[in-house]
Structure 1
């Protein structure tokens, strides 16, 4: 089956939308020029260590860096808008301290990359663009988060009995990670209730292969958002209380590995009314704007 051209759009900090490649390209007066760089694999630096008399070096890991993206656009006048007006509108779509969004859609899905300017746009016209009604502008950008992000996927479970009197009800949710990157789950838990959540190591035979983490009892009005990513605040309560302090140092340890198929994961709740609910939010982060499925 023949593939369609990728459609690339830019959503500006001002809410404007520009189709720069693919179907409808240039309809706002801006189209992507040739040879963009930094859009493919996420940038990585490998680490190699060497002792004083060692022959060669030993692999010490790798670091995922910010993404530097450089691309040029052709800007031209459109019916009803002079070249200068289009050029000005395009510039107003970008900022140094706020993110614009580049979105790439192929036959297999849509992924987005948050970008902001890292230096001023470069413009070197050979002739006055007001006369040519065309100009080429080079955009130099940074993506602090280097991942191409697909829309989150969610799964949920709702209790069917009242557990306020001390009963415990078990349930399950389906989790999958089709991406090439580890996935840190987010959990959204209703309150009141005392929830027990999975934190599997995903290693067969490992002592943490079926690890579970029990949260403290949340009172009414303390609906919880639990982020297992160690770089984020672990627990945020709806009432803004420091609920995380009640964990006594217990934390979540494991992401869902890349290419994990659909898996049923157990949850438990007690101290909650009928209808208590929990949702697993599954982020989709990719190294590339397409492929790797």
Structure 2
């Protein structure tokens, strides 16, 4: 199968492309920075260069590449700017879907998130509504996710992967990431807010399986949603950071999610819980 991966140089893309190649697929990585071309070649993939905000060029690239499937792993997280990430979800997805449809692409797999569910009792399933009553800046993220998902749903076949909080190499929760630094400084409090984590390798593996999944939305999270009062002390201990301060309360988006649907379709994460994942990947 010929597959184009948009966001090929990102945290998930870097893991996903070798997995797809190993399965025998012809993989093309869409990159903006040519510096990433060599790593794609080394992984057994080819590459095309385009900016998703340049519609004309993107249409040309998709027409020339003519993939059967487009995997949308585009994010803009470096500056921790919700508006930048919302823009790529809104405008970038719009351009990518339009170019894919024009090129005759049948299926799209798109990266979304679980942190935009409306408040409710217990962790969320895929049927729970998004939080359109959230205050800013959370509402910007909710609207970006909604735009991404509804736009991707214009594809004849579409799979929406709602990832939990990512940890692993290159993430904010990596041993040299932003939140690890905050933990070491004693600035990462343990609150009542519930988080569902997923390791980057498990997230990428879900995208591989999604090539065969029915159209729909899937929570891609581990099986252990946990309050900050549970996971933050374990995270801090794994980093040899000080014991975190406990602060009651939570914020919007801290509900957690359930993964039963993805499990039914054959997803079996390497780390069923962040407890194992932190212990084996943080040092």
TM range (shorter): under 0.3
Q: Which has the higher strand share?
A: 1
Q: Which has the larger radius of gyration?
A: 1
Q: Which has the higher contact order (CA 8 A, sep 6+)?
A: 1
TM-score using structure 2 length: 0.23
TM-score using structure 1 length: 0.23
Q: Which has the higher helix share?
A: 2
